[in-house]
Amino acid sequence: MSALLEVSGVSKSFDGFKAIDNLSFSVGEPELRAIIGPNGAGKTTFMDLVTGKTRPDSGTIRYGELAQDLTRMSEAKIARAGIGRKFQKPTVFDDQTVTENLTMALKSPRSPFTVLTRRPSMIERAAEVAQRVGLRSDMNARAGTLSHGQKQWLEIGMLLAQEPRLLLVDEPAAGMTAAERERTTEMLVEAAKTRAVVVIEHDMEFVRRLGCRVTVLHEGRALAEGSLDHVCADPRVIDVYLGRPETADA
């Protein structure tokens, strides 16, 4: 298992506040990895850095066999290189149908000219993905009419449709019912069999069910890494995170 994503010595401050502080992190392919940490630890910022939404002040982010430097690529190019992202808030296109949402995401040429002039039918591929995320019977529904949990699945479906090599998932279980969480866990574990999946979560129970290697983030630094039991036993982790459950969900 070689590293697919290699983040080394990355820092990012906002107005003097260090959101990410000399962070190093790597994930292999295939691998399922969880990043946990209290609110404000810099989890979302980490994701922004990898996907090109924000640029680091220092450090490098390398990706793939060619060790492409992600800090110099546009968001769209990073996405086309095979990095998919699921936002914390479900962001699907409410005004469009499930099919349209999935079709946009399906791996295919992205240039305006090609998209305008070449129009192969993608409905079957979209249906296949919809099946995998349990939205097969809602394909003609507008995304805006779906329940919160279904929207999250649609977004996961859109990610799968992109066929990314690296999947970054921000708090997928937020706002889900217990049954929906279970379903989501299955989807993520399944997806991680063939690719790298990084799940950001502050819900310990959810992470436990993922049963994977965990990185604890705190004040922009990686505090500990290992199995969940291993990091839970780490006194520093207990101190900043587990010892103060009320701040974890604040």
Ligand X SMILES: Nc1ncnc2c1ncn2[C@@H]1O[C@H](COP(=O)(O)OP(=O)(O)O)[C@@H](O)[C@H]1O
Question: Per rule CB under 8 A, is residue 177 in the interface with another protein?
Answer: yes
Contacts of 180 (CB under 8 A, 6+ apart): 149, 152, 153
Report the alpha-carbon distance of residue 67 to residue 44 in Å, rounded.
23
Nearest Cα residue to 122 out of 143, 97, 103 = 103
In the bound state with another protein, the residue whose beta carbon lies nearer, of 12 and 151, is 151
Number of residue whose CB is nearest Mg ion: 44
Stretch that binds Mg ion, among 36-44, 48-56, 181-189, 236-244 (CB under 5 A): 36-44
In the bound state with ligand X, the residue whose beta carbon lies nearer, of 39 and 137, is 39
| 3-state class percentages of the chain: helix first, strand second, coil last, to nearest 5 | 40, 25, 35
Stretch that binds ligand X, among 36-44, 55-63, 132-140, 225-233 (CB under 6 A): 36-44
Phi, psi dihedrals of residue 226, rounded to the nearest 5°? 150, -160
Question: Per rule CB under 8 A, is residue 186 in the interface with another protein?
Answer: no
Rg (CA), the chain: 18
Question: Per rule CB under 5 A, is residue 54 in the interface with Mg ion?
Answer: no
> CA–CA distance from 70 to each of 18, 21, 66, 201 (Å)?
21, 18, 11, 24
Phi, psi dihedrals of residue 48, rounded to the nearest 5°? -60, -40
We find the least distance from the C-beta atom of residue 81 to another protein, in angstroms, to be 9
Give residues in contact with ligand X (CB under 6 A).
14, 19, 37, 39-45
Give residues in contact with another protein (CB under 8 A).
51, 53, 74-77, 79-80, 84-85, 87, 89-91, 93-96, 99-101, 103-105, 108, 110-113, 115-116, 119, 121-124, 126-127, 131, 136-137, 139, 142, 144-145, 147-149, 151, 158, 162, 174-178, 249
